[in-house]
Amino acid sequence: MTDQKVAIVTGGARGIGAAITTGLARSGVHVAAGYSSNSRAAEELAGKLSAEGCSVSVHQGNVGVPEDCQRVVEEVLADRGRVDHLVNNAGVTVDKTMRKMTVDDWHAVLRINLSGAFYMSKAVLEHMLERGSGRIVNISSVIGQTGNVGQVNYAASKSGLFGMSQSLAREVARKGITVNCVAPGYVETEMVAAVPENVLEKIIAGIPVGRLGQAHEIARAVQFLVDDEAGYITGSVVSVNGGMDM
Ligand code: CAA
């Protein structure tokens, strides 16, 4: 087993996930970055970070498929012998008002955003329990705290992460494992760029800090929560949203 700490970051090649991968890798952690289909983005990020001297591997898998989650964790354990941190970041939107949202739209978002975090956490849990240490960080959203027009599926998935995290945090609190959420606001990523321009203008006008967040600002909160010194923080939500939930 290597001395170097190992983090799995799902959806770790793009958007907020890429910033989390970058932040953790630059702090000296080996990052196993998961991706579902965009292998080019994953290889490019891994190549860039490796050229800086960071240690990064990429792993294809769909977090909505429990067998993929199990396989990815097994790959990482076979390669590195340990998983110290799990960051459940992979997430999707299918924004439609309730009247237009289909049952498939509902399940597509819940499967990735909520069930995916369950499958991945379950896949690493026995290993973390055996070692008596671990950090699980679930990337939720301000939308899980406030709701949003056009996002009943996404808001339900992100609220669900709060309850799931607190329940698991209680189960493992005495076993050296912490489970927390980071709840970003609107961050400058492809996901937010897909919001209609007129809607986005109104959203930005309502953010107290007056701008979109940057992905590295979310990554910083994740780094804080996975630190050895953060062992007394569990079942918490760290909001990084420019003041949106005040
Ligand atoms: N408040 C109240 N009602 C609203 C509304 C609002 N802000 N926006 C739309 N509606 C109502 C309309 O009045 C309309 O009602 P009627 O039919 O009774 O008139 C109904 O909703 C449908 O309106 P549209 O025809 O304009 O709706 P649409 O189906 O074309 O699009 C939408 C609606 C899907 C919500 C679209 O406006 C949209 O994509 N909005 C952005 C949603 C958003 O913020 N997504 C965040 C993505 S980023 C992310 O998720 C990351 C994160 O964690 C923050």
Of the CA atoms within 13 Å of residue 240, those in its CB half-sphere come to 22
DSSP for 167-233 reads HHHHHHGGGTEEEEEEEE-SBSSHHHHTS-HHHHHHHHHT-TTSS-B-HHHHHHHHHHHHSGGGTT-
List phi, psi (to 5°) of 237.
-120, 120
**Ligand 1 atom 34: the closest Cα is on which residue?**
96
Q: Where are the domains of the chain?
A: 6-237
Pocket test of ligand 1: the residue of 140, 149, 161, 211 to mutate, having most ligand atoms within 8 Å of its CB, is 149
The closest residue, in CA terms, to atom 44 on ligand 1 is 195
**Per-residue pLDDT tens over the stretch 155-165:** 999 999 999 99
Burial code of 60-71, b = ≥16 C-beta within 10 A, e = fewer?
ebbbbbbebbbe
Mind listing the pLDDT tens digit for each residue in 75-91? 999 999 999 999 999 99
| Entry pTM | 0.97
33-67 confidence digits (pLDDT tens):
999 999 999 999 999 999 999 999 999 999 999 99
Pocket probe mutation, ligand 1, options 14, 97, 151, max atoms within 8 Å of Cβ: 97
Superfamily designation of domain 6-237 = NAD(P)-binding Rossmann-like Domain (3.40.50.720)
What's the 194 CA to ligand 1 centre distance in angstroms?
A: 12
> Does residue 24 have a pLDDT over 80?
yes
- Centroid of ligand 1 to alpha carbon of 33 (angstroms): 32
For residue 160, the tally of other CB atoms under 10 A from its CB is 19
Per-residue pLDDT band at 2 (split at 50, 70, 90)? confident
Tell me the C-alpha distance between 154 and 173, whole Å: 28
Catalytic residue of the set 119, 154, 186, 232: 154
Distance between the two ends of the chain, CA-based, in angstroms? 45
pLDDT at 1 over 90: no
The residue whose CB lies within 8 Å of the most ligand 1 atoms, and thus the one to mutate among 95, 96, 105, is: 95
Annotation says 154 is catalytic: yes
- With cut-offs at 50, 70 and 90, classify the pLDDT of residue 218: very high
pLDDT in tens, 121-152: 999 999 999 999 999 999 999 999 999 999 99
- Mind listing the pLDDT tens digit for each residue in 91-120? 999 999 999 999 999 999 999 999 999 999
Q: How far apart are alpha carbons 39 and 14 in whole angstroms?
A: 11
Q: What is the mean pLDDT of the chain?
A: 97
Q: What residues are in contact with ligand 1 under a 6 Å CB criterion? A: 93, 95-97, 100, 141-143, 148-151, 154, 186, 191-192, 195-196, 199
For residue 100, give the ligand 1 atom closest to its CA.
29
CA 93 to ligand 1: nearest atom: 50
Cα of 95 vs centre of ligand 1, distance in Å, is 8
Task: Decide the pairing of beta strands 6-9 and 177-184.
Answer: unpaired
Note the pLDDT of residue 93. 97
